[in-house]
Each structure stands twice: as C-alpha cells, then as structure tokens.
C-alpha cells in the first residue's frame, strides 16, 4: 500500500503534517476530513520524482512563476487565511511547501517584503513578471475591503478557469498539428527521397516521361537543395516577426487581422470575450470601480485591437456613455457579450452578468474549438491522401510508359 505525505490545518488552526498509508489520495483526504482537519496537501511519500514534479523542471531563462505554481500558491494562501492564520504565517507555509525552486525564491521575496511592513499588493507589485496587474489589483481591493481570504479564493478559481480553457484549447490543437507534420513529412519524403531513386532508371531507358512526373521530379530536386535554406529562412523570419510584433505599430494590424479570419477569428473573439468579462466581473465583484477595472482588464486581453476597443469604451464610459454601447460600436466582441453587459448595466448587476457572460463564452469557445478540430482533421487527412496519391500515380504512370516502350 502506498504512503502519502500530508499536511492539514487542525481544529485549533495549527498546521500539522504526517505520513499515512492508504489505497489512494482520496482515502487520505476522507480520513483527515473525518478527523476535523482541513487538508492542504496529500502527495505520494516515496522518493521517486513523479510526472507532475518532472513537468515542473525549469527551462533555462524562464521568468517568473509558471501558471501551475501561481494557482497552487494562491489556493494554499487562501486556505491558510480562511483558516484564521495571519499573513506572515500563511506566506511561510506557502514558501515552505513550494517544490519549485524559482517559485520558492519569488514567494520568499514577497514574504520578506511583507515582513518589512509592505502590504501584500505592494510586495506582489515588485514581482510584476510573476503577478499580473489583474492579480495585484484584486489583492489590493481585497486588502482595502478586508476580504483578502475570499478574494484570493476567487482569484484562484479565476486562474484555474483560465488555465483550464487554455489547456483545453492547446490539447485540441495537438492532433491536427501532428497530422499536418505527418502530411508534410510524407510528401517531402516522397519528393526528396523516393522519386529520385527512379531517376536513373528513367534516364537509362531514354523514355519521355509524362509532364506530371517531370514536374514532380524537378520539384523534388529543388526541394532537396532548397530545404536547408527554407528552414533557415523560416527561423530567421520567425525571429524577425517576433521582434516586429513586439512593436504596437505592427502588432495592432496583426491583431486586427487575426480577428477578421473566417473561422479562427470567431474563436479568438469568444476567447477574448470570456477573458474580458471574467476579469471585469471579478474586479467589480471585489469593489474595484468600473474605470480602473477596465484599465486592468484591457491589459489582461493580450490583443491590442481588443485592448484599444476597451480603452475607448472606458473613455466614453467615464463621460457617462455607459459601457455596453461604446464597446459594441468597436465591433470586436460578439453581440452576445454586448447584450449581456447591457442587461447588467440596466439591472445594476454588471459584475454578476459579466461572470455569467464569461461562463457562456468559455463554453462557446470550447464548442467552437471542437467543431474546428472535427472539421480540420478530415480535411487534412483528405488533402494528405490526395497529395500522396498524386505523387504515386505520377510515378506509376511513368513506370507504365517504360513498359510501353519495352513492348
């Protein structure tokens, strides 16, 4: 039976730790909960490094906290504060129980600043590579309103939903990406390796090859010579494009182009709408005024076209024009977003309606991704099959012409 190393908060608010033999982690949690303890962690106690820990190995040059460490630290800090622990003790627990060395260093620096008399929000602001403006803004609002534990709990939920949506979108793209790589690899292999094997045979026979075969053989020869240069050009082009997209003058038209794409554009709009409404709803729900909340929300979008639309809407809302209509005039977000925000304004429940809109857009984004993948996979498979069939048919036609010549 495996052993689990656990930590929990007992009835007196003290952090207790131990090792327990149990069939699985759920059994450990249930046993501790029956004893009246709040479980913080229950992990396998063997000395081997599990897959989850291996995935946390730092990549050289990585900056700030990774998303998994940020969610885990936020959740644990919220649990500790809700259990009645003071901020310093809660931060100490989070630092001591963080397995990632970089995360431990960053969180330790935050704790040191808090112990020196800084507020938690100010301490987090000194580590802007790890904590976003949204994160810092929510913490500042929670400290000002005396609701920091509940705020951190909601923030952990927000981060988990963002992470879940991103992970689901990436996972959905893995299979089409593998198909595309396989298709390109198969075609390159046929053109650059298989067809050239038959060239000496055709030259010795002195046969007049079909036009399609000659074109494919020429293409294969060119591909073999140009492939290294093509790969180098792609790498250089990627570096240049990344550098140019770091400048607003180039990034803004690129982001607008993304939003105008036939199918992907709609998916991006749904994702941006989910991010905007989720961020806005959480900020408003924590007492942040509308205009500052919009300023934080636009920085969380990651799309300059959408951020510009939110910034313009914030300026007009500041002048008394409301939020929904100016945001709808930009034409960036789906009509459903504008309608729900308008209902929230009219009912004086903008925070609640924003959060409901976020749930709707999250689901829509997942459904759209599933449809796109369901459409892309057969299209890629058919295109790959046609390309390979065309190459093989051209080769067979040439072989048959050799038979006719021999006859």
Q: Enumerate the domain spans of the chain.
A: 1-55, 65-131, 157-407
Rounded Cα gap, residues 32 and 20, in angstroms: 10
Rounded Cα gap, residues 341 and 360, in angstroms: 13
Contact in structure between 288 and 137 (CB atoms under 8 Å): yes
Measured at the CA of 235, the angle between CA 379 and CA 54, to 5 degrees, comes to: 80
Rounded Cα gap, residues 172 and 162, in angstroms: 16
**The pLDDT value given to residue 236:** 92
- Residue 303: phi and psi, rounded to 5, are -135, 120
From 7, 28, 10, select the one nearest 18 (Cα to Cα). Answer: 7
**The pLDDT value given to residue 383:** 86
Cα pseudo-dihedral 180, 183, 184, 186, rounded to 10: 150
Quick one: how far is CA 266 from the chain centroid? 17
Contact in structure between 200 and 209 (CB atoms under 8 Å): no
**The pLDDT value given to residue 67:** 80
User: How many other CB atoms sit within 10 Å of the CB of residue 141?
Assistant: 23
**The pLDDT value given to residue 10:** 63
Rounded Cα gap, residues 370 and 168, in angstroms: 10
Reduced to 3 states, what is the DSSP secondary structure of residue 180? helix
**The pLDDT value given to residue 59:** 32
Rounded Cα gap, residues 356 and 67, in angstroms: 24
β-pair partners for 6: 18, 42
H-type alpha helices, 48-147? 51-54, 67-82, 87-96, 101-115, 120-125, 133-145
| Strands of 38-44's sheet in order across | 15-21, 3-9, 38-44
Angle at which helices 67-82 and 101-115 cross, to 10°: 40
Contact in structure between 73 and 107 (CB atoms under 8 Å): yes
Task: Please tell us whether the domain made up of 65-131 is placed in CATH 3.10.20.740.
Answer: no
Rounded Cα gap, residues 218 and 75, in angstroms: 61
From 321, 318, 353, 317, select the one nearest 338 (Cα to Cα). Answer: 353
Contact in structure between 361 and 369 (CB atoms under 8 Å): no
Q: How far is CA 400 from CA 143, 174, 201, 386, in A?
A: 81, 41, 13, 20
**The pLDDT value given to residue 45:** 63
Compute the chain's Rg from CA coordinates.
29
**Which residues of the chain are under the pLDDT cut of 50?**
47-62, 406-407
| 398 class by beta-carbon count within 10 Å (0-12 exposed, 13-18 middle, 19+ buried) | buried
**The pLDDT value given to residue 133:** 77
């Amino acid at each position: 039976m495996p052993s689990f190393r656990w930590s929990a908060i007992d009835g007196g608010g003290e952090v207790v730790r131990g090792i327990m033999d149990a069939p699985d982690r759920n059994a450990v949690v249930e046993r501790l909960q029956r004893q009246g303890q709040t479980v913080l962690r229950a992990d396998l106690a063997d000395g081997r490094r599990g897959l989850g820990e291996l995935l946390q190995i730092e990549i050289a040059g990585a900056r700030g906290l990774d998303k998994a460490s940020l969610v885990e630290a936020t959740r644990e800090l919220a649990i500790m504060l809700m259990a009645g622990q003071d901020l310093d003790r809660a931060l100490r627990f989070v630092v001591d129980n963080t397995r990632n060395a970089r995360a431990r260093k960053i969180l330790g620096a935050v704790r040191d600043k808090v112990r020196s008399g800084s507020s938690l929000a100010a301490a987090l602001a000194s580590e802007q590579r790890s904590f976003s403006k949204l994160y810092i803004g929510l913490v500042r609002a929670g400290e000002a309103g005396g609701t920091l534990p509940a705020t951190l709990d909601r923030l952990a939920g927000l981060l988990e939903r963002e992470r879940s949506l991103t992970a689901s979108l990436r996972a959905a793209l893995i299979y089409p990406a593998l198909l595309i790589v396989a298709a390109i690899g198969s075609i390159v292999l046929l053109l650059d390796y298989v067809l050239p094997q038959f060239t000496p045979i055709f030259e010795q026979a002195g046969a007049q090859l079909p036009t399609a075969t000659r074109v494919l053989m020429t293409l294969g020869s060119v591909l073999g010579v140009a492939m290294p240069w093509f790969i180098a050009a792609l790498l250089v082009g990627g570096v240049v494009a990344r550098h140019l997209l770091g400048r607003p003058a180039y990034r803004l038209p690129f982001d607008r182009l993304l939003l105008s794409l036939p199918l992907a554009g709609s998916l991006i709009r749904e994702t941006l709408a989910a991010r905007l409404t989720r961020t806005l709803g959480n900020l408003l729900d924590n007492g942040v005024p509308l205009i500052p909340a919009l300023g934080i929300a636009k920085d969380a979008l990651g799309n300059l076209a959408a951020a510009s639309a939110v910034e313009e809407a914030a300026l007009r809302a500041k002048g008394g024009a409301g939020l929904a209509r100016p945001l709808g005039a930009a034409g960036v977000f789906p009509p459903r977003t504008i309608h729900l925000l308008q209902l929230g304004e009219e009912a004086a429940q903008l925070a609640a309606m924003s959060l409901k809109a976020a749930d709707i857009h999250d689901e829509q984004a997942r459904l759209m991704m599933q449809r796109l993948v369901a459409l892309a996979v057969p299209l890629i498979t058919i295109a790959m099959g046609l390309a390979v069939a065309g190459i093989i048919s051209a080769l067979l036609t040439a072989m048959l012409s050799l038979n006719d010549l021999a006859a």
